[in-house]
Amino acid sequence: MIQEKDFEIFLNPDTDEIMIMISEKEGMNERGCSLIYDGKDHALLYRTSRQIILLDYINPLMKEPLLKQKNVYVIEIGHKGNVLNEYTARVKIVPEIPLDEVDLEPPSHYLKNKEDL
């Protein structure tokens, strides 16, 4: 599992669609990608059958909209800020994602945003 430390989630207010931007990953994604989410702080992006990306510390403002999605758009950004890959991931809502939070490192932007709440 890869812990994605630099990602953004955007909600289009006109269409209620969600786009998730992550850093580029090695290899191509497989058809049938899925995002597993339980409505809490973390989501798992199954990019390939062997590559799971942990999106940790989801912005609290994105939790409810994410629960309403059937699909999300995923954009992979290169080192120079260019789009390298884009695809759709089906959203699967589960009761709980079992994670050991002791090993998770909160991203710096999360700590800053948490102070604003």
For position 116, what pLDDT does the model report?
Answer: 46
pLDDT tens, position by position, 65-82: 999 999 999 999 998 999
Sole residue written with tokens 């597993």: 36
Query: Distance of alpha carbon 57 from its chain centroid, rounded?
Result: 9
Sole residue written with tokens 């809502």: 93
Q: How many domains does the chain have?
A: 1
Per the model's pLDDT, the better-predicted residue between 37 and 109 turns out to be 37
- The pLDDT > 90 percentage for the chain reads 66
Cα separations in angstroms, 96 against 36, 37, 56, 92: 9, 8, 14, 11
- Measured between alpha carbons, how far is 115 from 77 in angstroms, rounded to an integer? 28
Determine the structural domain holding residue 34 and report its residue range: 2-116
